[in-house]
Structure 1
Amino acid sequence: MHFVSTRGNVKKAGFIETFLMGLGDDGGLMVPDAIPSVSADTLKGWEKLSFQELMLEIFGLFTNGEIPREDLKTIINDSYSTFRHPEVTPVKKLDDSLYVLELFHGPTFAFKDIALQLMGNLYAYVSKTRGEIIHILGATSGDTGASAIAGVRGKEGIRICILHPHGKVSKVQELQMTTVDDQNVLNLSVEGNFDDCQRIIKEMFSDLELKGKYHLRAINSINFVRILAQTVYYFYAYFRTVGAGSGKTVSFSVPTGNFGDIFAGYLAKRMGLPVGRLLIATNENNILARFVNEGIYEPGAFRTTYSPSMDIQIASNFERYLYYMYKESPETVRFLMTAFQKEGAIRVSGKDLEQAQADFAAYGVGGSECLDTIRGAWEKYAYLLDPHTACGVAAYEAVGKGTDEICVALATAHPAKFDESVRLCGIEQSFPPEIAGLFEKPQHQKVVKHSYGRVLEEIEAFLK
């Protein structure tokens, strides 16, 4: 297997080269040149594997032997040794048709830990075995930053800079990033929103001279390894609900803003996992829901919501889906992305829209609906949802019910990370000690204007 760019102007790359490249050198996103097909017999053989064993098998389909199996096994086992639950991603049954996949048992209580603990160890492995300089650059709407920092802090040969939108993440998310006082960590709080931060990061990675000079590496979901790691828990959830050989499919309801987590489910389905419907759950920043329901991909007015990690108007991973929607045609992707840059919108109709609606259902959850869902789950199941997971459950209630198919809602964060929203529901929760202790620590961050030049100035000073 090799990896290619969605825009077609990058030579075929191996697994490690793709990992280090992050964003394609032509501005596109890296994808496998052929998605491996998993047979029914293989699924049956994987059914009883632990999460770590399952990840080893799935990654083995993509790494081309570039990482010896025993080394990959060590990287994987080390990455999940710090998780608080022995299953890593346990599945909880709420009722006969609705399950919750708990993805928040890692060091920072968010689903991003699943990919970023692995990526941190993988970067350390590449740095040691190949002598690579690793300078990680990323933007976060809240959870990615803390998870990325937790994955690489203190690791020799690695430095990391994270941009987050000033005042637009939850207090716990902010503290998880900014209470880290390590010399290899820089937190920049940008006066703007997440899309502003993401735009600066993508512009830096598109500058190949800058990227090469400072050995910049990507931690965001523009990096295909992020997507691949997240694909694993779709398989794991399927095995823990209906199981291989059952002849049944499972639907997934996925809170998403940047299209990475839902694309991981799409990739799992393309590989052969018996997935029924993939439900895109958004909040009022509902560009993805509008695309699926109306055929219009166009940023609207930015809104601050109860689910800040999804306060995103431009979904980076959407380009990967366009590549497959248009039969792996980089020419079409280049045309569409150029049109989007010039006109600010992509419009599809007819058979193209029908294809999108066959691949996904989508629902935008309003603020009051989000809070009502938190209250409802607490009263009905005695189960506390964070506001992002609540969007996933609300989407299931709105467009996912009505069949005998099981639906798994992805629980993307621990509710303690978003106590502001939980308290609005009249619910008091106790904080895990790891989170409670954050409020006593000093913060380390620099507030900067939303300016490419200003951010670059800080990064260059940090990396010298």
Structure 2
Amino acid sequence: MRYLSTRGHPDRKRFCEILLEGLAPDGGLYLPETYPRVDAATLESWRGLSYADLAFEILSLYIDDIPADDLRAICRRTYTEDVFGTPQIVPLKKLEPGLYLEALSNGPTLAFKDMAMQLLGHLFEYELARRGEELNILGATSGDTGSAAEYAMRGKKGVRVFMTSPHGRMSPFQQAQMFSLQDENIHNIAIEGVFDDCQDIVKAVSNDLEFKRRWRIGTVNSINWARLVAQVVYYFAGWLQATERPPSQPGPGRVSFTVPSGNFGNICAGHVARMMGLPIEQLVAATNENDVLDEFFRTGVYRVRGAADTYETSSPSMDISKASNFERFVFDLLGRDGARVKALFGDELARNGRFDLSSDPAFASAAARFGFASGRSTHADRLATIRDCWDRQGVMVDTHTADGLKVAREHLQPGVPMIVLETALPIKFAATIVEALGREPGRPARFDGMEDLPRRVTVLPADVERVKQFIATHCA
């Protein structure tokens, strides 16, 4: 298996090379040259596998430069009941006829990012030990990626983490999760700006090839293919649970997924699963008031917003107006035309802050070819959905999952199960839960008093050079 850049760079690389690299040299994102296909017989043969062994079966289709026994051991070490709190790892809960919630937030930081980040930590440690090298990870978070990465990498040999986040824009619980860590290999940088400023800094540093090579810079954001492919697994796991049926019922059943989406990484993993042959009817992107993705799927116009036009909402992990993973989908949408993708995401976005595919035949056929749909949710919608879910099902959901449930109900189809991907546990957004229900959400005992712990964080302006200087100082 070889990987190529969405912007047409001629190099083709193997998995372990792009694992440590992040962005391609031309600023593009890596994708496999082709998506491996999984037929109905293979899908059926995976019923009954543990989540760890299912992960091995899927990841081994993409990773041929780690010995199979080693990769299987990494998967089994990652996906355990001790780490994720349940033997199913991602159990499916039926909320009402045709509507399901897939639990992805039972990991160490109570958010779906743990599903991939725990694996990534083991992969990094394995490959760095094999090479006898070190890696400095630079990331950007709007709330959950940062804590998931830091908890996955803390204490790992050969790894330092430099995590940028928008100063003052995460929930108090999210800030405390990250900033209370005292591990010497973990560095928090609060950027005076919004998440997109953090993401731009990560990309700018990654595109400085001399600095990147000198200081061995890698990424854990979903621009790193390794993290995205790990997320593909729970789509297969959700499908396998939702389509359990008697042997007399022929053919693979189809399901739909609704995914709360800001940076397009989580739902992009669903796109990959569908391209592999998983019978997905619809992939529904649910946005909050920062609706750049919903606008594209409705109109064909991709329009990024500046900091002043990025709303601060009660589902803050989706307060994103520049969806970096969207480039992967557009690459497939446009027939894998790297030159055109480079023009759109390079010059055209830089010049106009937008591009328009509304008149392109590829966009006209996008829903039929790729199954995408979308919808938007507001603060009032979140409150109403949280109340409804609690009153009718006795299930408390976080604000982002509430966005997903609201939009999912608008896209239900008779006979097609709709699975909403849970994003986090409610305690991470306690203020809005109290506003909706008049009660505090429960929290695991290990997080009691966390907000009162000493904090280790540096505040910096949204300046690439200042961040580079901070990295160099702490790596020297």
Aligned pairs (5 A) from 1:36-185: 36-64=36-64, 66-81=65-80, 82-185=83-186
Q: Which moved more, 1:20-29 or 1:445-454?
A: 445-454
Matched, 1:370 2:375: no
- Shift of the alpha carbon at 1:357? 3.1
Contact 1:141 1:309 in 2 (8 A): yes
1:352 has 2:362 as partner: yes
Aligned mate of 1:408, from 419, 432, 456: 419
Distance in 2 between residues matched to 1:180 and 1:247, nearest whole Å: 46
- 2:294 aligned with 1:286: no
**Does structure 1 residue 11 correspond to structure 2 residue 22?**
no
User: Which residues in structure 2 correspond to 1:406-445 (within 5 Å)?
Assistant: 406-428=417-439, 429-445=441-457
How far has the Cα of 1:426 moved from its partner?
2.4
Alignment equivalent of 1:334, drawn from 324, 339, 342: 342
Segment drifting more, 348-357 vs 150-159: 348-357
1:317 Cα shift?
A: 0.4
CA distance in structure 1 between the partners assigned to 2:466 and 2:398 by the alignment = 35
More displaced 10-residue stretch of structure 1: 200-209 or 439-448? 439-448
Q: Which amino acid aligns with 1:40?
A: A
Instruction: Give the Cα–Cα distance (whole angstroms) in 2 for the partners of residues 306 and 375 of structure 1.
Output: 15
Bigger Cα displacement from structure 2, 100-109 vs 240-249: 240-249
Q: Which amino acid aligns with 2:237?
A: Y
Equivalence map 1:169-248=2 (5 Å): 169-243=170-244, 246-248=251-253
TM-score by length of 1: 0.98
Question: TM-score w.r.t. structure 2 length?
Answer: 0.95
CA contact (8 A) 1:172 1:435 kept: no
Say yes or no: does 1:461 pair with 2:473.
Answer: yes
CA contact (8 A) 2:398 2:429 kept: yes
SS in structure 2 of the partner of residue 409 of structure 1: strand
Contact in 1 for aligned 2:52/2:78 (Cα 8 Å): no
In the alignment, residue 357 of structure 1 is paired with which amino acid?
A
Tell me which moved more, 255-264 or 439-448. 439-448
Give the aligned residue type for 1:414: L
Render the CA deviation track for 1:206-254: whole Å, top value 9, x for unaligned.
Answer: 0100100000011000000111000000000000011485532100000
Separation of aligned partners in 1, 2:442 and 2:21: 42
Q: Deviations over 1:251-291 (max 9, x none)?
A: 00000100001110010000000001000000000000000
Matched, 1:390 2:424: no
The residue number in structure 1 matching 2:323 is 315
Distance change >3 Å, CA 10–CA 413, structure 1 → 2: farther
Deviation at 1:103, TM superposition (A): 0.3
Q: Would you say the 8 A contact 1:10–1:26 is kept in 2?
A: no
SS at match of 2:448: helix
Check the 8 A contact 2:138/2:217 in 1, yes or no: yes
Which amino acid in 2 is paired with 1:332?
Answer: R
Cα shift at 1:10: 4.2
- SS of structure 2 residue aligned to 1:303: coil
CA contact (8 A) 2:333 2:363 kept: no
Q: What SS does the aligned partner of 2:189 have?
A: strand
Q: Is this contact kept in 2: 1:58–1:232, CA < 8 A? A: yes
Give a deviation string over 1:391-448, Cα, whole Å, max 9, x none.
10000122x1242211000001011111011011024222211222412311110111
Looking at structure 1, the residues matched to 156 and 395 of structure 2 have their Cα atoms a distance apart, in angstroms, of: 37
Alpha-carbon distance in 1 for matches of 2:435, 2:362: 41
Q: In terms of mean alpha carbon deviation, does 447-456 or 307-316 score higher?
A: 447-456
> Aligned-pair distance for 1:132?
2.0
The one-letter code sitting in structure 2 at the alignment partner of 1:284 is E
Amino acid in the other structure paired with 1:96: P
Check whether the contact 2:163–2:188 (CA below 8 A) recurs between aligned residues: yes
TM-superposed CA distance for 1:344, in Å, is: 0.7
Residue 273 of structure 2 aligns with an amino acid whose one-letter code is A
Report SS of the residue matched to 2:455: coil
SS of the residue corresponding to residue 332 of structure 1 reads helix
Distance in 2 separating the partners of 1:409 and 1:171: 26
| Counterpart-to-counterpart distance in 1, 2:45 and 2:221 | 32
RMSD: 1.2
SS where residue 96 of structure 2 aligns?
coil
Letter in 2 for 1:14: R
Q: Take 2:472 and 2:242, find their aligned partners in 1: how far apart are those partners?
A: 49
Contact 1:10 1:25 in 2 (8 A): no
2: distance between equivalents of 1:71 and 1:276? 35
Q: What is the identity, as a one-letter code, of the residue corresponding to 1:407?
A: M
User: Amino acid of the residue matched to residue 206 of structure 2?
Assistant: F
- Tell me the distance in 1 between the aligned counterparts of 2:14 and 2:99: 39
Residue 71 of structure 2 aligns with an amino acid whose one-letter code is: L
Counterpart of 1:46, as a letter, is W
1:255-270 matches, within 5 Å, as 255-270=260-275
Structure 1 residues 246 and 427: alpha-carbon distance in aligned structure 2, compared to 1, 3 A threshold: farther
SS in 2 for 1:293: helix
Contact 1:100 1:409 in 2 (8 A): yes
Quick one: which amino acid aligns to residue 174 of structure 1? Q
The correspondence for 1:343, drawn from 326, 336, 352, is 352
The structural deviation recorded for 1:179 is 0.6
Deviation at 1:80, TM superposition (A): 2.3
Q: CA deviation at 1:354?
A: 1.9
Residue 127 of structure 1: SS of its match in structure 2?
A: helix
DSSP 3-state at the match of 1:252 = strand
The residue number in structure 2 matching 1:450 is 462
Tell me the distance in 1 between the aligned counterparts of 2:34 and 2:413: 35
What is the aligned-residue identity percentage? 39
Matching of residue 361 in structure 1 with residue 366 in structure 2:
no
State how far apart, in whole Å, the 2-side matches of 1:420 and 1:357 are.
37
Q: Which runs of 5+ in 2 are unaligned?
A: none
